[in-house]
Amino acid sequence: MPLLAERMSRAKPSAIMIVADKAKKLKAAGRDIISFSIGVPNFLPGAHVYAAAKEALDHDSGQYGSNRGSDALLDAIAHHFAESGLPGYERKNIVVGIGAKHALYNLAEALLDPGDEIVFPTPYWTSYYDIAEIVGAKITALPCPPAQNYKLMPDQLDRALASKPKVFLFGSPSNPTGMVYTREEIAALADVLVKHPDTWIICDDIYNRLVFDGVGYHNVLQFRPELRERTIVVDSISKTYGMPGWRVGFIAAPEKIAQALVTLNSNHITNLPEVVTAAAVAALTGPQDLTTQKRDEFAHKRDEVLATLNAIPGVRCPRPQGAFYAFPDISVAFGKKHGTTAINNDVDLCNALLDTKGVACVPGSAFGEPHALRISYTCKAAELTEGLKRIKGFFAELT
Ligand SMILES: Cc1ncc(COP(=O)(O)O)c(C=O)c1O
């Protein structure tokens, strides 16, 4: 029997998708399930996006397109970056992917040989770890526990970069914690990064339009423009415009990196479909009020989640200020029982919560932090309130 490639022994299916699928199956079987699992924005894009897609469908010749992305889309992306506070990118700096996940996968292929070191903070988005494993990179995950609000400290970064890792990857706002680095915090990290010229920097900032409390979105490039020659900014229309299934992600990068990704695209995907491209251009250049409205809605939901979680004795949740996730430390439950079920870790807790209360959350260990679980809180308001009530009830029943 011939064997699979060795790298497949390191490849794992996404832990988030496993929980989401389990919740979906239980729901299909008639169970009353509330899913706080998958990170979907749960809103549809504006009518102008559908109109642009329909128009493209009427005119689409169905031919192959640009490996980099159509000129109209590249210009829309450059405009989007400028509006986000990162002006000056040209078509030669930009490349699209089938979602930010694909762009990140391409970056791993372009930058990391087997054994090369990649550094990122923990908790991390699951795919950072899984993608790095597939390409055979050496992973250094820097612990950022709740006591430091899940944020990376400048001296911690400084120490980690002393070994000259090939890549440093981080994002603000963060998935899974919803943490947002303040202006001062980003400036301090930028000061450290300039001291380590041998490391590529990837900023995965796909939630940058979903920042609450007036904190604002900040990027290291705004404080240290000289970092631009080795920094890649990753963004996507998935969360900002309610378009996760349209699969459009993109990067802004030094020309050499962008060109490398164009080459990979030419061998992987060839191009984004014309209809998808038209919808993405409409989303990026059209009215932005839906995103603003959703951001404010998510901030209110965050308040409700935080108030409920922090009222549970022993549960502690650092205050998220962006995206749509909360990441409470639930380790107070470990060593206790729910009914006859022993809760010894985050996976036990998430399984028992789903089985007994029908609430699906993702165990923190999927993100490298086994003391926590992730709640994605974009569901309807009534569902959110009910799901939180069930979580509260679950903790009250622990013995
Ligand atoms: C931090 C982060 N980066 C990238 C992605 C991938 O997004 P996309 O849908 O554009 O592939 C996600 C999706 O959950 C994410 O949370």
Considering only CA atoms, which residue is closest to atom 7 of ligand 1? 100
pTM: 0.96
Q: Which helix (DSSP H) or strand (DSSP E) does residue 257 occupy?
A: helix 255-268
User: What does the pLDDT read at residue 373?
Assistant: 97
CB distance 146 to 367 below 8 Å: no
**Ligand 1 in contact with 238 (CB < 6 A)?**
yes
Regarding the beta carbon of 101 and ligand 1, being less than 6 Å apart is answered: yes
Please tell me the predicted confidence (pLDDT) of residue 21. Answer: 82
Beta strands in 253-351 (DSSP E): 325-326, 336-338, 341-343
Confidence of residue 328 (pLDDT cuts 50, 70, 90): very high
Task: Lowest mean pLDDT of 3-7, 184-188, 268-272, 386-390, name the range.
Answer: 3-7
Beta-ladder partners of 199: none
The confidence score (pLDDT) of residue 20 equals 80
Beta carbon of 362 within 6 Å of any ligand 1 atom? no
Does the C-beta of 395 come closer than 6 Å to ligand 1?
no
Q: Are 127 and 15 spatial neighbours (Cβ–Cβ below 8 Å)?
A: no
Could you tell me if the CB of 125 is within 6 A of ligand 1?
yes
Averaged pLDDT for residues 80-90: 98
CB count, 10 Å around CB of 156? 17
Q: How confident is the model at residue 147 (pLDDT cuts 50, 70, 90)?
A: very high
Mean residue pLDDT across the chain: 96
Q: Measure the CA–CA gap between 217 and 182, rounded to whole angstroms.
A: 8
| CA distance linking residue 219 with residue 208, whole number of Å | 10
Q: How confident is the model at residue 93 (pLDDT cuts 50, 70, 90)?
A: very high
pLDDT, position 270: 97
- What is the average per-residue pLDDT within 161-165? 98
Segment 103-126 shows an average pLDDT of 97
How many Cβ atoms sit within 10 Å of the Cβ of residue 263?
Answer: 14
The number of residues in the chain equals 399
| b/e code 190-200 from CB counts within 10 Å (16+ = b) | bebbeebeebb
Predicted pLDDT at 61: 74
Which residue's C-alpha comes closest to atom 16 of ligand 1? 175
- Residue 237 above 90 pLDDT? yes
User: Is residue 314 within 8 Å of residue 332, measured between CB atoms?
Assistant: yes
Report yes or no: 162 and 305 within 8 Å, Cβ to Cβ. Answer: no
**What pLDDT was estimated at residue 39?**
87
Q: How far is the CA of 103 from the centre of ligand 1 (A)?
A: 10
Helices vs strands, H then E, count in the chain: 13, 14
Q: Domains (ranges, CATH) in the chain?
A: 6-44+290-396 (3.90.1150.10), 61-285 (3.40.640.10)
State the average pLDDT over residues 190-206.
98
Do 364 and 373 meet the contact criterion of CB atoms below 8 Å apart? yes
Q: pLDDT value at position 84?
A: 96
Least confident of 17-21, 49-53, 70-74, 278-282: 17-21
Residue-level pLDDT at 390: 98
Give pLDDT, residue 378: 97
In percent, the amount of the chain with pLDDT more than 70 equals 100
- The pLDDT confidence band at residue 140, using thresholds 50, 70 and 90, is very high
Pocket of ligand 1 contains residue 236 by CB under 6 Å:
yes
- What CA–CA distance (Å, rounded) separates 312 from 298? 21
Whole-number Å distance between alpha carbons of 114 and 368: 22
pLDDT score of 11: 77
Question: What pLDDT is recorded for position 18?
Answer: 78
pLDDT of residue 23: 87
- pLDDT value at 334 more than 80: yes
